[in-house]
């Protein structure tokens, strides 16, 4: 069944808007995500390089508060204040077409701000929160960093499985 012209335009604008917000990744690469088995648990950092050349990616995590509920609304433009504490920083070598994992990069409950930067200057940031797990450890989100075919970078923080 073919949609009427007005509905097609709305659908097309919605799809283009979603891709436009992830414009640094050719073909909306970040929309596909990682499968649950490959992604890792709460506090993990997973880096996927869809480019045909290797990239060096620096991941910096700042702890903003002890509770997981200080995450601002999406697209709020909020950045960590001066009281944020560096929780972790690591440079990853990510081969072309490969995935690199750091399973327990963040291990304490809290609200965090993560920034991923590739050596050529592309940068992306995102907020996420972690709660204390019922049997220890943390629950909540993981960090997924995508390097696109053009060397652009995007960060997502989906719920960990």
Mean pLDDT by 10 residues, the chain (161 residues): 44 38 41 55 94 96 94 89 92 96 94 94 94 91 94 93 74
C-alpha–C-alpha distance, residues 128 and 112, integer Å: 5
In a domain, 94, yes or no: yes
Are the C-beta atoms of residues 59 and 114 closer than 8 Å to each other? yes
In a domain, 161, yes or no: no
In a domain, 97, yes or no: yes
Q: Give the model's pLDDT for residue 74.
A: 83
CA 158 to chain centre: 8
Q: How far is CA 129 from CA 9, 47, 49, 64, 117, in A?
A: 37, 19, 25, 10, 21
Whole-model pTM: value is: 0.77
C-alpha–C-alpha distance, residues 53 and 73, integer Å: 34
C-alpha–C-alpha distance, residues 141 and 72, integer Å: 15
In a domain, 50, yes or no: yes
- Domain with 21, as residue range(s), is 5-156
State how many domains the chain has.
1
Q: Give the model's pLDDT for residue 15.
A: 36
Q: Give the model's pLDDT for residue 96.
A: 96
């Amino acid at each position: 069944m073919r949609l009427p012209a007005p509905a097609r335009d709305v659908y097309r604008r919605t799809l283009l808007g979603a891709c436009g917000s992830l414009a640094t990744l050719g073909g909306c690469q970040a929309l596909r995500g990682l499968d649950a088995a490959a992604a890792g648990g709460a506090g993990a950092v997973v880096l996927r390089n869809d480019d045909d050349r290797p990239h060096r990616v620096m991941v910096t995590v700042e702890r903003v508060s002890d509770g997981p509920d200080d995450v601002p609304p999406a697209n709020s433009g909020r950045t960590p204040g001066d009281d944020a504490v560096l929780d972790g920083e690591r440079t990853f070598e990510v081969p072309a077409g490969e995935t690199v994992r750091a399973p327990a990069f963040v291990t304490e409950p809290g609200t965090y701000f993560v920034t991923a930067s590739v050596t050529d200057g592309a940068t992306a940031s995102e907020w996420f929160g972690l709660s204390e797990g019922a049997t220890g450890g943390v629950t909540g989100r993981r960090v997924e960093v995508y390097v696109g075919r053009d060397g652009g970078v995007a960060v997502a923080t989906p719920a960990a499985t």
